[in-house]
Each structure stands twice: as C-alpha cells, then as structure tokens.
Structure 1
Amino acid sequence: MFDIFKKLDWFFKLRAKTYGLAVVCLLVVSLASAVTPIIIGNLIDALAERTLVASDIYLQIGIIFGLGVLMYALRYAWRALIFTNSTMLEAIMRNKLFDHFTKMDSEFFHEHRTGDLMAHATNDLASLKFVAGGGILTLTDSIVVSATTLFSMFVFIDWQLTLLTIVPFPLLIVISRKLGKVINTRFRKSLESFSRVNDHVQESVSGIRVIKAFGEEQDDYASYSEDIEHVVEMNKQVFKIDSLYRPAIDSITSLSYLLALIFGTYFIYNGRITIGNLVSYFSYLAMMTWPLLAVGHLANTLERGNVSYDRIQELLNNKSNIKEAQNPVREPIKGDIHFDVRSFQYEDDEAVLLEDVQFELKAGQTLGLVGKTGSGKSTIFKLLMRDYDHYKGQITYGGIDIKDYAVDSVAEAIGYVAQEPFLFSHSITENIRFGNPSLSLEKVIEFTKLCDIYEDIIRFPEQFNMQVGEKGVALSGGQKQRISIARALAVEPDYLFLDDSLSAVDAQTEHKILANLRELRQNRTTIIASHKISSVMGADLILVMEQGRVIGKGTHDDLIGSNEWYSKMYQKQQLEEKVEGGDQYGA
C-alpha cells in the first residue's frame, strides 16, 4: 500500500521544504487541539467542586478562542502548501507524458489506442494528484493527530484506561491490508474499462459523419452503453470493497467507546480519575475517530495511486525504436535519394508490407507512385520519413544512410501531406503557419494561391481568420487537402511528399496545382503518390506498386507501352474525366 511513496520519493525530495513546513503547521494544530479537552475537563471538575469563578471561565474561553483562530490559520496554510504540491506533481507528470508521446515512433501509436492514452493523461494523473494532495494530507494528519491524542490520553488522563480502550484499534490495520489488496486489483480493471470507454468516445466523435452516413447511431449507442455498463460494474466492485471500511471503523470506535464507558466509570468509582478526566477522555476518543476513518480513505487512495503510477510507468518505459546514432549528422538531409528495401513488416505482424523495392531519385526530380489501395505507397513515405527503422536494406540521402542522420534533421527537410490531412482547431492562417510561425501574411496568401484555395478562403466571412474547427470540420475534403499542401509548402522543404493528397479535388484544380508545383519546385525533390494517373504523368520516374512490390518502373510514356495495369487504368480514368466533365470528385 505504501509503495507509492517509494515510487514518488523523487518528488517528495524535490518539494521537501514545503512538505516539511506543512507538517510543522500540522503539528502545532494537533498540539493546540489537544489542549482544548484538558481545559473543558478542568472546567467540569471545578464546577463539580464548586470552585469555578467567572474570571476562570472568561480566561479559559479566551484561550479556546485564541487556539481556534491559530488552528484555522495554520490549517489553511498547511492545506494550501500540500495541495499546491499536488498540482505541481500533476503538471510534472503531464509534461513527462506529453514529452514522451512526442518522442515516440509510429510503432508506439500503432500499438496504443488514442482513448487509452487519454485515460492515462486524465484519470491516472488525477489519482496521482490525489496521492500527493489528499493522500499526504490524510496520512500526516492521521499520524500526527493520533500521536498527539494518544500521548495526551496516556499522560494527561490515565495510561491504563487508554490501553484498555484502544485494544480494538489494531484490527483496523489487518482489515486495511486485506481490503487494500482487493482494491488494487479491482481498481486496475476499473481503469482499463474506462480506457475502453474513452477510446470509444474518441472514435465515435471523430467518425460521427461516417456513423450518421450509415445510420449506425443506435448500434453505436448500444455498443457504448455496454461499455458504460461494464465501467459501472467495475466501479461497483471497487465501491463494494471500499464501503466495507466505514462499518468496520464504526464498529471499532463503538467498541472503544463502550470500553471507555465501562472502565472509565469503574476508575471514577475507585477515585483513579475524575468526571472531568472522563469527559476529556471522550473528547480525545472523538478526536481519534478521524484518524480511524482516514485509514480507510488512505488505503483506497494509495492503492489507486499505486495502480495509476504503474500504468503511467508502463507507458513511459516504452522506448522508441528509432535510435539516434552516436554521432549523428546534424545537417538537414539533402541530395539524391537511394531507396533499397528488400523487406519490411510491422514488428507485431507477419504480413510483409514492402518487398524488393528499389529506386534512385536525383535531387530536383519528381517520383510518382501509383497502385491500388494497400499496395505500399504510403509505406514508402513512412520509411523515407524514418517512421520505422526495422527494415532489411538501406535508404540514403546524398549518399548518407538515413539512420546516420539526427532524427530532427530528417523532419526539417521534409514537407508531408497525407490523404486525410489533419488540421488544428485554429484559424486558416495559424494552420498554414504551423511549421513556420514567422511566415508573413503575404507569403501565406501566396501559398494559398499556388494551391488554388485562395478564392475559397476570401469567400468565408472571416476569410483567413476563420476557425476551421476540430480536424478542419468546417471545411470540405478538398479544401482541407489544399490548405495542408499550403502548410507543407510554407516550410519551403527540400523534399515534398504528397500521399494521395489531391484525391478530393477535381481534375481541373488538380492540373492547376500540379502545374504550380512544377514551376515552384524546379530544383527540389517531389514524390507524389496517387491512385490517379493524371497526378503523376509529369514525373521523371513512376513506380507501379502492387502488394508491396514494384510491378512497373519508368516514365509515363514507358509505362503506357509496357505495363498493362498502368495502361488500362490511364485509359479508364481518361474516359471517366470526359464522361463526367472532369469534375468527378468535386472540391
């Protein structure tokens, strides 16, 4: 149960001064609170002995009032100190997680669902925060209050009476240990079920248009309800165990009160203690109720913190498969591309994604990749951007192995646009400036004109300041693709990779954008993947892909005469453009 404190010792050392000051404040509060029962007991004894005078009453009331003010101020101080620390722990761990996410490779996100990662960043961090705040508060408060109260009971009342009435207390330790182990197991299952719900919500919200298009709202809701019911059931299992604490504590305290009444009355009868002593003793016993209650809450809090910390550490222990060379090349990649991959597959999958794929691309040339969906076009981009390192073969830029470059050096020189572009919930201008924040508005406008999206933008009420919504929900597919291309051009990359990035625009717009790109990037390397032959016709080299293999290589004219699939697909698409007026896709 207390393992969590060992796991977080680095943080407690970091904040040792503030935690120490909080404990000092708490100690003073506990000592002050221990004085009040003695004063009350003395007043009762004086009243019983008819020796009480008004001046004594006023003095004792003044002392109690002064102690109350002192305790109020110090309680505020130590709670503020502790909860400030807990917020700091949450911030540190949140930064650690986010930093870790940004450094992980594609394999990591291939294995971990977004909803699960979000659950770690919310529920698990909340549990850790409570350990450093409410957990520490409960632990220190219960220990200090118990210690000062028991000391007062032993020293100021009667040590024999105290020993006789605290006999049931050790039972609580046994109960807490047994119930704590069960809570640990059940809370882990509860968090795992919450992760699944989180993932379901994330997927459903992101894919709401698809769900509505297929009329699957009711089925998706039914599936979500099942997940929620499972979460509720898992939480019930946790609360069933947690709920056993309070009855156990009430039984133990009731037994202690009964013993105190029996033996206290007996000791008064024998003259060992006074009535005032017994009243003071009952006050101390009431003060002991909080530490006993705290044990139950503390066990629950610490076990939850243990589970959450372990879950977070499991994530943080994942290491990126992309290893930096000992003395990497720090300059951005440049020069010719040599691609020679004999085979590539995901580490957890037996399916071969690329096999015997080779090509040479001179600096400033354009490469076209065509083929059916799933033929390996996007996989080539992933390897060129060094998303994965575990392939058989070699990829070089300017004669230097890509693995010898610093990871940042690869990213700095590449502008990448995916078929399904991701736009942030900001303005159009901010999205285009994402990779180049200092880009002037004039240049932003220039790039939007190159991508044939300028006319669309100026028709929006807020024009370039328009908020695109989450993932660009306020824009059409073609508009999102063109803004994404403008964003890639804004960093003026030496290598531009377009992964079927014109699939949602009409033929006329596509031709205009490609013509602009050819003029803009005459001396820079461009690779275009597409299912449309028209997108790659002007490339210096075209690869025809099928099931991860190259089944055709050459220029457009070469492939028309030598590759049956390429020739048939070109003729089919030409016919479709003529029949549909070149506006099959729409912007």
Structure 2
Amino acid sequence: MGVFKKLSWYFQEEKKRYGLGILFLLLVAIVNLIPPKVIGTLVDSMNQKGGIQTGQLMSLLGLLVFAGVGQYVFRFGWRNAIWGGAAKLEKTLRTRLFNHFMKMDATFYQRHRTGDLMAHATNDLNAIQNVAGAGILTLFDSLITGTTTIIAMIFFVDWRLTLFAILPMPLLAVMARRLGMRLHAAFARSQAAFSRLNDKTQESVSGIKVIKTFGQEKEDTADFDQIVDHTIEINKKVNFLDALFDPTTSLIMGITYVITIAYGGYLVTSNAITIGQLVSFVSYVSSLVWPMFAIGRLFNILERGNASYDRVAELLNEHSAIIEQPDAIAAPAHGDIRFKINKFAYPDDDHATLTHVHFTLPEGHTLGIVGRVGAGKSTIFKLLLREFDDYDGVIEFGGQNIKAYTLEALLDAIGYVPQDNFLFSTTVADNIRFSSFEKTQPQVEDAARESAVHNDILDFAEGYGTLVGERGVSLSGGQKQRLAIARAVITTPELLIMDDALSAVDSKTEAEILDNLRQERANKTTIIAAQRLSSVMHADEILVLKDGSVIERGSHDELLANNGWYAEMWAKQELEQKIGGETVG
C-alpha cells in the first residue's frame, strides 16, 4: 500500500473526484444486493402452497429492472470519475517528467541513456497510472463489495452461516502479503530489464546505417535476442509469482462453497433458514469471488506501480548543476567576450580537458579556433553555452559573468551550429525557423540564402514545405550543415558559434557562406572552429589548441610566419587540395 502514500499528494488534490467515484462504487454494491435477495424470495414463494402471486412477481421483476438501470448509471459515474482521475495523473506526471528533462544539464544525459529515459516516460508512467485507476477501483470495489455482501449475508440469511463461510479468508491475506513482498522486487527487476531492451531497440534503430555499412546485422540481432531472452526470463519469474494468486484464491473460495453447502444444508433441514435464503446466500458467496480475486490483482497493480514510481521519483529528484541566480540578468547578453579558464575537467574525469585557455573577443570580431580532434574546441563552446559550470576561471559576456544571466538571456544571444547537425522530422522551413517560429517566409529564405542552401531547397519536391525525415535522413551531409547554419543565423544572434560546421561542404560553397556571414554579421561576434584552415583564415584572431592548451595564437599571416603547427597544416591542406581536389574534413 506504500504507493498510495507516495501518491497521496495527487489524491489530496483530486479528493472530490475520487470521493464521487467511491460513492458510485458504494451505490453499485448496494444495488447488486437486490438480485440475490429477489431470487431467494422467488424460490421461497414458489415453494409455498399457493405459489407466487402476479402482483408479487411484478414487484420483484420491477426491483430487478431497477437494479439493472441503477448499475448502468452508477457504473458510468465511477468510470468517469476514477478513470478520468487516472488519465489526469498520467498527464500531470508526463508533463512534469518532460519538463524535468528539458531543465536537466549535460551530465544528466551522460548518466542516463535515451532508451532508459523513454522507458521511464512510457512503461513506468503507465504502471503508475494503473494505480490511480485500476488500483483505486480494485481496492475500494473489493472492500465495498465484500463488506456490503457480508452484511447482507448476516442480516438477510444467518450470521452463523456467514461466520463459518468466511473463516478461510484470512488465509488469503497471509498469502497476499508473502507474495506481495516478492512481487515488488521482481517487478523492479522487470522494469529495469524493459529499460535495457528499450534502450537497445532505440540504439539499433538510430544506428541502422552504421550497422548495415559494417555488415553487423546478424551480430546486432544476436545481441538483441540475448537481451530479449534475458527480459523474458525475468518476466517469467514475475508471471510465476503473479500466477500463484488466482489458484490460491480459487482454492479458498472452493473451501468456502463446501462450508456453505454443508452447513447451509444443515440449517435448512433444521428449519433455521429457508431454501430461498440458502439460494440467496450462495449468490452472495458468488459475489465474494470478485473481491477475493481482486486481492491478487491489486497486489499486482500496486507492486508494479510502486516499483515504477520509485524509478520515476529517482529521476525527478535529480537536480541540474546549472542553477540560475535569484537576481539573474534577464536582458539579452551582448558585448565583448572574456574567456579565462585555468582548468576544466568533465565530471568523473580526473584529466583536465582545458588548461590555461585565455582570450578576449571584442564585439563584432571573429575568432578562429583550430586543432586536432580532441584538442578542446567543442569544450570551449560547451562552457560558453553553460552546459557545465564547474571550472576554475571566469567567462564574461559584456562585462558580466555568464552565470549572472538567466539561461534564456544568455542562450537567446547565441546562435550555435554543432558538429552533429540534428534536424527534426518536420518541414525544411520549420527546421530553419525552429528557434523563432514567428519568423516569416521571406526571413526564412534570407537565412537560407545566407547559408547557401536556398537553391538546393528550391530543387526539393515541395520546396520549403519538404519533410526532411527523422534526423534529416533525406538530406545530404552538406545540406544538413547548411540548414543548421540557417537555423542559427535567422535570429541574428549577438554571438554565432560554428563548431566545425563547414566540414561537409566544398571549398566554393564554404567561401560563399563565409563571405555572406562577413557581410551580414559585420557588427556581430563570431567564433569558428574548424579542421579546414580555410574556414578561419579571415578571422581577426586564431587560436591553435593542443591537448586543451593554446600553443599558438595570432592572425592568419602571423601564424604562417611563425612556421609552427598552423603553417605546417596549412601547407599540407593546400597540397592535398592541389593533388586530390576538394577535401571535406
């Protein structure tokens, strides 16, 4: 019953709704007492010498009609109240969980895999919803039906027969308690196994191109089958424990019927009760079958819901390390950027990713950042975007520490083009205006022209209305990159960050995009990270990173004159272009 206590906050909010539902359950239970009593009266009347009179028959039939109509009305009432409450709980938790996902930081998503989070948002929430729906129904319906039926058996038939008939029922409570404790642990393992299976499915579907490219279909299928088999084995144990409820309940009800027939027959022969009362009593015992079976069903629902609630609550109790100050600046950030990081290491990593990376970027200037893969370029951007706040140093934007701004004020001032150009499964136009849906079609097209993708879009079957497919599956790498650039520049951000965002386009298109950006962003700040040095050659300053530290800095000409890593890489890339044509990084 612990899950009811955990959900007490919701039941308190919806006490009127659930109170009404329970009232309707009570009315249904009372109406259900009428048919057995009517049947018993009919039997006694027919057993008399004069038989049953027409008027009496019509009255009894009228009671049966009333009972049928009453059951229809009252059942509609409790279904509307209780199932409506369960649906509202699901909506509340689903919204709360999704909003929580939106607020969490990068570290949270490093700890939790996508498939596992999806399992929490689907399977676990469904199990919790069942507690507020089927769980409440089963608990109160079984209690009300069982209680009213036993009261009817005492007052309409005989208290002694009732006492003997319910003697075996405490055995059911003992069995339910013992099995319930084992079910809780089993359901927790079952939900965890489902998360692993869900995660594997999501990962395989997302990476299907890579799997096929490397011919790993059989191996991946075998891995999937192994996870499925493990999940089935765990669920077999759950089903075994769950299956013990019904046979045990049937056994106990069988004993109850034996007692009823044996002792009830004795009471009839001794004229303590009539044959009609015995018939009514047997009907009432039949009404007790549902409450008895409901106990098993209830423990199933509650234990599954309890395990799921614990899993969801554990997620909701996690807090983002990125915290806004109470008096944070809400005005959009603008001005010079001062980046002074003495040391930064990712969480749970003792190795420093950045060491003594210092630079000042005046407003309206362009900074280029180059270096080998893993040099720390993307890490600089993650700190500027406040994906991580735990570092030794300070980052200022317009003379203010970036931690002094609200996240909205900071991020609204930044346009970011990541290495992984994620596109949504909607139209080309909506992907471009994703950061600002009030942008008009002409503004969307201007952004597309600036990123040199307008002509490509016009060649699509539906133009700007073309659906790009999940993650932009229908587009080439270069088209996805240019759409991502268009999405970033459409808001004319104070700071534009391009993280190796031109690697999939040819040199001619790269030059066109960079020329457009220089013209359109003459008074705006830009940071470009690239493997291809031609992308940064016109920057006001270029930083060369190696192992998280700055090893060279200066303009393009100054770095060539230094004859260091930059000059060596420039000569190498020029030679590659002459010998092998275009390189795409």
Is the structural similarity TM-score above 0.5?
yes
| Residue of structure 2 in register with 1:121 after alignment | 121
| Pairing 1:283–2:283 present | yes
Structure 2 CA distance for partners of 1:563 and 1:361, relative to 1, 3 Å? farther
Give the Cα–Cα distance (whole angstroms) in 1 for the partners of residues 560 and 201 of structure 2: 48
Question: How does the TM-score come out when normalised to structure 2?
Answer: 0.98
Matches within 5 A, 1:307-386: 307-386=307-386
* Equivalent AA in structure 2 for residue 29 of structure 1: V
| Residue of structure 2 in register with 1:60 after alignment | 60
Give the Cα–Cα distance (whole angstroms) in 2 for the partners of residues 39 and 442 of structure 1: 78
| Pairing 1:48–2:47 present | yes
| Residue of structure 1 in register with 2:441 after alignment | 441
* Equivalent AA in structure 1 for residue 366 of structure 2: T
Give the Cα–Cα distance (whole angstroms) in 2 for the partners of residues 543 and 197 of structure 1: 45
Matches within 5 A, 1:80-229: 80-229=80-229
Give the Cα–Cα distance (whole angstroms) in 1 for the partners of residues 365 and 279 of structure 2: 94
| Pairing 1:265–2:265 present | yes
Q: Kindly indicate whether the alpha-carbon contact (under 8 Å) linking 2:384 and 2:395 is maintained by their aligned counterparts in 1.
A: yes
| Residue of structure 2 in register with 1:407 after alignment | 407
Q: How much has 1:213 moved relative to structure 2?
A: 0.9
Q: Which runs of 5+ in 2 are unaligned?
A: none
Q: How much has 1:563 moved relative to structure 2?
A: 5.2
The DSSP-based 3-state class of the residue aligned with 2:436 is: coil
Task: Write the deviation string for residues 176-225 of structure 1: whole angstroms up to 9, x where unpaired.
Answer: 11111111111111111111111111111111111111111111111111
Give the Cα–Cα distance (whole angstroms) in 2 for the partners of residues 516 and 254 of structure 1: 85
Give the Cα–Cα distance (whole angstroms) in 1 for the partners of residues 183 and 344 of structure 2: 44
Q: Kindly indicate whether the alpha-carbon contact (under 8 Å) linking 2:34 and 2:63 is maintained by their aligned counterparts in 1.
A: no
The DSSP-based 3-state class of the residue aligned with 2:288 is: helix
Matches within 5 A, 1:464-503: 464-503=464-503
The DSSP-based 3-state class of the residue aligned with 1:356 is: strand
* Equivalent AA in structure 1 for residue 520 of structure 2: L
- Identity of paired residues, percent? 46
* Equivalent AA in structure 1 for residue 258 of structure 2: L
Give the Cα–Cα distance (whole angstroms) in 2 for the partners of residues 49 and 134 of structure 1: 45
| Residue of structure 2 in register with 1:305 after alignment | 305
| Residue of structure 2 in register with 1:517 after alignment | 517
Give the Cα–Cα distance (whole angstroms) in 1 for the partners of residues 349 and 130 of structure 2: 40
| Residue of structure 2 in register with 1:234 after alignment | 234
Question: How does the TM-score come out when normalised to structure 1?
Answer: 0.98
Give the Cα–Cα distance (whole angstroms) in 2 for the partners of residues 563 and 126 of structure 1: 64
The DSSP-based 3-state class of the residue aligned with 2:544 is: strand
Give the Cα–Cα distance (whole angstroms) in 1 for the partners of residues 564 and 211 of structure 2: 38
| Residue of structure 2 in register with 1:28 after alignment | 27
Q: Kindly indicate whether the alpha-carbon contact (under 8 Å) linking 2:145 and 2:288 is maintained by their aligned counterparts in 1.
A: yes
Give the Cα–Cα distance (whole angstroms) in 1 for the partners of residues 170 and 352 of structure 2: 62
Give the Cα–Cα distance (whole angstroms) in 2 for the partners of residues 546 and 157 of structure 1: 91
* Equivalent AA in structure 2 for residue 307 of structure 1: A
Q: How much has 1:561 moved relative to structure 2?
A: 2.5
Give the Cα–Cα distance (whole angstroms) in 1 for the partners of residues 373 and 159 of structure 2: 83
Give the Cα–Cα distance (whole angstroms) in 2 for the partners of residues 292 and 217 of structure 1: 50
* Equivalent AA in structure 2 for residue 4 of structure 1: V
Q: Kindly indicate whether the alpha-carbon contact (under 8 Å) linking 1:264 and 1:278 is maintained by their aligned counterparts in 2.
A: yes
| Residue of structure 2 in register with 1:14 after alignment | 13
Q: How much has 1:530 moved relative to structure 2?
A: 0.8
Give the Cα–Cα distance (whole angstroms) in 2 for the partners of residues 191 and 29 of structure 1: 35
Q: Kindly indicate whether the alpha-carbon contact (under 8 Å) linking 2:432 and 2:484 is maintained by their aligned counterparts in 1.
A: yes
The DSSP-based 3-state class of the residue aligned with 1:423 is: coil
| Residue of structure 1 in register with 2:293 after alignment | 293
Shifted more, 481-490 versus 26-35: the winner is 26-35
| Residue of structure 2 in register with 1:547 after alignment | 547
Task: Write the deviation string for residues 53-110 of structure 1: whole angstroms up to 9, x where unpaired.
Answer: 2332232122112211211221122112211111111011000011111111111111
Task: Write the deviation string for residues 334-362 of structure 1: whole angstroms up to 9, x where unpaired.
Answer: 11111111111122222221111111111
| Pairing 1:557–2:561 present | no
The DSSP-based 3-state class of the residue aligned with 1:538 is: coil
Task: Write the deviation string for residues 433-467 of structure 1: whole angstroms up to 9, x where unpaired.
Answer: 11121111111111111111111111111010000
Q: How much has 1:562 moved relative to structure 2?
A: 2.1
Matches within 5 A, 1:64-79: 64-79=64-79
Task: Write the deviation string for residues 232-290 of structure 1: whole angstroms up to 9, x where unpaired.
Answer: 11111111100000010000000011111111111112221111111111100000000
Count, aligned residues? 584
Give the Cα–Cα distance (whole angstroms) in 1 for the partners of residues 282 and 19 of structure 2: 31
* Equivalent AA in structure 1 for residue 456 of structure 2: D
Q: What is the RMSD computed on CA atoms of the aligned residues?
A: 1.2
Q: How much has 1:555 moved relative to structure 2?
A: 1.2
Shifted more, 16-25 versus 528-537: the winner is 16-25
